[in-house]
Homo-oligomer: A and B are copies of this chain.
Amino acid sequence: MQVVNTVQDLKKWVQSTTQSGRSIGLVPTMGFLHEGHMALVEAAKAENDVVAMSIFVNPAQFGPNEDFDRYPRDFERDSMLAEKAGVDIIFAPSVKEMYPHDSQITMSAGMLANVLCGKSRPGHFDGVLKVVTKLFHLVQPNAAYFGQKDAQQLAIIESLVRDFNFSLKIRRVETVREQDGLAKSSRNVYLSNAERREAPELYRSLQRGVKDAREGQDPIPEMIRLIESETSGTIDYIELLSYPDLQQEPKEQAILALAVQFQKARLIDNIIFNLKEN
């Protein structure tokens, strides 16, 4: 496995790879890898000749009061895990390498950012759009792999690729969970022991909510009750929207999603489902 830190070295690899006709699967990450990322690598390996993983904690998608500096990083462990999983190249640029100039040109997710996590993270998805566009241009993948856990990110990136005619495919990979149902996340390490025991209630409440929604009930009051009685976290949002266009009052394909703030970790989870199926 190669590790490259500069745009120039990455471009050399991309050029020789595409010239030899090999297809590239891209797994964009912020590092601190867990099984969720490994599921993305696995999906990318199954569909492509080679797999590129980017590891870049993107400052443009963190707000001024968010955890950019504190976001967990462990490159040595990451590169070991990536190599074991069969990644062919890691692109791990510095912030300076990705943003060498003051840049005036911005992208905006518009109304797609006015729901779910976007409401409490102004500018977050604009930063995601910028870095993802840059990575797509740099790596020139045939397909890129994203986890369903970040469902709003996935929906926005699918819109990006469609509306701006990128020539790659976006693959949605199911959320990987702990045995007790908690969605894997780099931020889970910040849970206290007590919070860690409570956290599976998030997924249980989502499952209950899906059942209620399919029976024609508003699922949200009961979910609020469950989370408030069974956890010490504070609900940031619980929303039921259409998927992937993220509009109110879904008819068929829907997403039920939540974010809950614990002391040092804000956890998100969701289920994407069809309201008409059981």
Oligomer copy total: 2
Inter-subunit contact B105/A11 (CB<8 Å): no
Interface residues of A in 12-32 (CB under 8 A from B): none
Distance to closest chain B CB from A169 (angstroms):
14
Bound Cα distance A24, B127 (Å): 31
Closest chain B residue, CB of each to CB of A135: B165
Closest chain B residue, CB of each to CB of A162: B101
Known contacts A138-B165, A165-B138; A105/B133 CB under 8 A: no
Q: A110: which B residues are within 8 A, CB to CB?
A: 104-106
Known contacts A105-B156, A107-B105, A112-B104; A133/B167 CB under 8 A: no
A235 within 8 A of B: no
Inter-subunit contact B101/A109 (CB<8 Å): no
Given A103-B163, A104-B111, A130-B164, output 12 extra A-B contacts at Cβ < 8 Å: A7-B165, A101-B163, A104-B109, A104-B110, A104-B112, A105-B108, A105-B112, A105-B159, A134-B165, A138-B165, A138-B167, A140-B167
**B-contacting residues of A (Cβ < 8 Å)?**
7, 11, 101, 103-112, 129-130, 133-134, 137-138, 140, 156, 159-160, 162-167
Subset of 8 A-B contacts with CB under 8 Å = A103-B163, A104-B163, A105-B110, A105-B129, A105-B156, A106-B107, A106-B110, A138-B167
